[in-house]
Every structure is written in C-alpha cells, then in structure tokens.
C-alpha cells in the first residue's frame, strides 16, 4: 500500500544521501500527518500539555490544598500565576493536578470504549445472521439513548456503592470511566463492523482462508490490523469527548468530589464568583478548550494520514 503514494520531494533527497529505507505504512502516515499543519502543531501543543500536567506538580511545588486567607480570590500575580480561589488556594497547582485527572479519565474511557467497540464490531462483522442483527440492535439501542441523562442516572445510583467498595476517589474514577466508556463504544463498533464487512471479502483474507487459517486467526492476524486506521481516529475523538463529558459531569456537581479539583469541578466551584473572580473560571475553561481543540485537530490529521488511498 505504501507504493500507492508517489515519492515526495523529501523522499528524493533521502535517496541521494543514504539508501532509502523502505517506506513503512507508519512512516508514510507520519509524512502525511506532518502535511496537516494544524494537526502537527496541535500534537506539539498536546505533548507540552501532557508534559506540563505530568511534570508540573514536581516542579511547581505548591500544594493544591494550601489555604492562604490573606490572598483570597486574588487575581493572577507572580506569586500565584493563575490567581487563587475563595479559600486562597493556588489555581495553577489545582489546574495542573486537575489536568492529570481529566486526561487520565479521557484516556481510560477511550480504552474502555475502544475495547468494547472493537470486540462487538469484530464479532458482528465476522458472524452473519442473527448474531450480527442482535448486536447491531443493541448498538442502535445505545445510540438512541440520551447519553448525559443516562450517565447522570447511573452515577447517581452507583456512586455510593462503589465509594464504600474501593474508596471515594478510586470509586468515582472507575465509575466515571466505565460509564463514559460504556456510552461511547457505538461509533467504534459500527466502524469496525463496516471494515470487517469489506475486508472479509478481500483477496488476502481469502488467501489466508485457503491456506487453512482459522476464523480466529483471520480475524486477529489479517482483518483487524487492516481495520485499525478508522479505529485510531475514533479513539482520538473519544478522548476529547470523554474529557468534555467528565468536565460536564463535574460541572453539574455529579463528577468528582469537591476535594479533587478536576477542570470541570473547578469551573463548577468558580461559577458563583464569576463577577468578582473571573480568572478562576477562565483558566480551567481554557485548559479544557485547548486540550479538546488540539485533540480534535490531531484526530482530523490522523483521519487524513491513515487513509492510504489519499495522496497528500
């Protein structure tokens, strides 16, 4: 498939210097990805953000719960780069800490959603007849459920149970991840099923079948790797959607408990102080916005890059 794209200017200069390595599918995708300027820079922005969130609390050593009543609702200054909240807690520290949780929720929910979606889509795509029909009925059923109300209801009903089982922080994390993942797998399932339907009839799968590969082997070794492109795109979008959903839940007061400052939670606490301390809601909101925007652009770039039929 790599041969379908004509050599670009960069590939030629490479050939002059050292023997050109055979362009792998991934190197090709990377080259196409870099052409998408916005996506490329978004990837950098996202990488910086992840680094800041991971390493920031190690460098910026201000506790998220250090109360300073002398500096309540202080606007941004050198001492508190993002200002403080109503108890005088440093917002930069809280935004950095909240970013860890928001990104972790986004990634974990994506893993859940993709795992469920790929499994269901692969089973539906491989088996014809009533299994496929039933699984697709389930998918349609989940698609026609109002997502946010269901999330709220599930969290409402199961919050206390899980809290007593594994502790408040882990409990609500697991619950939010499972619930968001449980309501985001449908697009992946549909995409994978559609991919399986077309790939199943391709010659290379037929060849594998003729060589005596079992159905399982055909699925795992031959079809699945070839259907990964759209799945990766769907996964990227899922991360962004999960971050927005988590912050929405926290914003409605039904996400993480008050002592865990996720971005949505910070906005929820800040919204009553909008008139006197707008910096409080501005920074967490901007953090969500920048993260989601760069993930969306990366997703858009991946969509272009992972479609080998496209020549860019």
Contacts with other proteins by CB under 8 A lie at 38, 137, 140-141, 143-150, 152-154, 156-158, 160-161, 240, 244, 247-248, 251-254, 264, 267, 271, 274-275, 278, 281, 285, 288-289, 292-293, 296-297, 300
DSSP-based three-state secondary structure for 84: strand
**Burial (CB count within 10 angstroms: exposed 0-12, middle 13-18, buried 19+), residue 70:** exposed
Q: State the minimum distance, in angstroms, from the CB of residue 119 to other proteins.
A: 19
Nearer to other proteins, 213 or 293 (CB): 293
DSSP-based three-state secondary structure for 185: coil
Nearer to other proteins, 287 or 305 (CB): 287
Q: What angle do CA 169, 175, 180 make, to 5 degrees?
A: 125
Q: State the minimum distance, in angstroms, from the CB of residue 158 to other proteins.
A: 6
Q: State the minimum distance, in angstroms, from the CB of residue 88 to other proteins.
A: 22
CA 55 to centroid of chain Cα atoms: 20
Q: State the minimum distance, in angstroms, from the CB of residue 177 to other proteins.
A: 17
* Residue 131: C-alpha distances to residues 118, 124, 141, 154 (Å): 15, 6, 15, 27
Nearer to other proteins, 57 or 255 (CB): 255
Nearer to other proteins, 68 or 307 (CB): 307
The helix or strand, by DSSP H or E, that contains position 290, with its residue range, turns out to be: helix 278-305
Q: State the minimum distance, in angstroms, from the CB of residue 162 to other proteins.
A: 9
CA 49 to centroid of chain Cα atoms: 14
Nearer to other proteins, 224 or 240 (CB): 240
Q: State the minimum distance, in angstroms, from the CB of residue 85 to other proteins.
A: 15
Nearer to other proteins, 141 or 207 (CB): 141
Q: For the packed helices 25-35 and 278-305, what is the interaxial angle rounded to 10 degrees? A: 130
Q: State the minimum distance, in angstroms, from the CB of residue 35 to other proteins.
A: 13
Q: Rounded to 10 degrees, what is the CA torsion of 89, 90, 94, 97? A: -120
Q: Name the E strands within 73-201.
A: none
For the chain, count helices (H), then strands (E): 14, 0
Nearer to other proteins, 205 or 254 (CB): 254
Nearer to other proteins, 111 or 293 (CB): 293
Q: State the minimum distance, in angstroms, from the CB of residue 176 to other proteins.
A: 15
Q: Are 37 and 70 in contact (CB under 8 A)?
A: no
b/e per residue, 113-130, with b = 16+ CB within 10 A?
bbebbbebbbbbbbeeee
């Amino acid at each position: 498939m790599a041969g379908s794209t004509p050599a670009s200017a960069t590939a030629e200069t490479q050939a002059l210097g050292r023997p050109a390595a055979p362009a792998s599918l991934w190197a090709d995708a990377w080259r196409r990805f870099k052409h998408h300027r916005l996506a490329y820079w978004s990837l950098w922005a996202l990488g910086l953000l992840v680094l800041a969130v991971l390493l920031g609390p190690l460098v910026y050593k201000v506790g998220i719960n250090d109360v300073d009543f002398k500096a309540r609702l202080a606007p941004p200054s050198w001492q508190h780069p993002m200002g403080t909240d109503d108890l005088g807690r440093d917002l930069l520290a809280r935004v950095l800490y909240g970013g860890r949780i928001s990104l972790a929720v986004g990634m974990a929910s994506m893993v859940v959603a993709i795992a469920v979606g790929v499994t269901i889509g692969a089973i539906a795509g491989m088996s014809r007849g009533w299994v496929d029909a039933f699984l697709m009925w389930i998918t349609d059923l989940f698609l026609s459920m109002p997502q946010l109300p269901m999330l709220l209801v599930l969290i409402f009903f199961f919050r206390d149970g899980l809290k007593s089982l594994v502790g408040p922080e882990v409990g609500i994390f697991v619950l939010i991840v499972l619930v968001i993942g449980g309501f985001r797998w449908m697009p992946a399932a549909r995409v994978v099923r559609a991919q399986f339907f077309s790939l199943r009839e391709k010659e290379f799968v037929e060849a594998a079948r003729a060589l005596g590969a079992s159905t399982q082997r055909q699925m795992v070794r031959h079809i699945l790797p070839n259907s990964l492109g759209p799945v990766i795109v769907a996964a990227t979008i899922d991360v962004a959607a999960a971050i927005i959903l988590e912050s929405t839940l926290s914003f409605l007061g039904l996400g993480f408990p008050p002592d865990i400052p996720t971005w949505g939670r910070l906005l929820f606490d800040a919204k009553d102080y909008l008139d006197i301390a707008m910096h409080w809601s501005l920074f967490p909101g901007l953090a969500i916005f920048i993260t989601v925007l760069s993930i969306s652009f990366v997703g858009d770039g991946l969509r272009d890059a992972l479609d080998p039929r496209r020549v860019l």
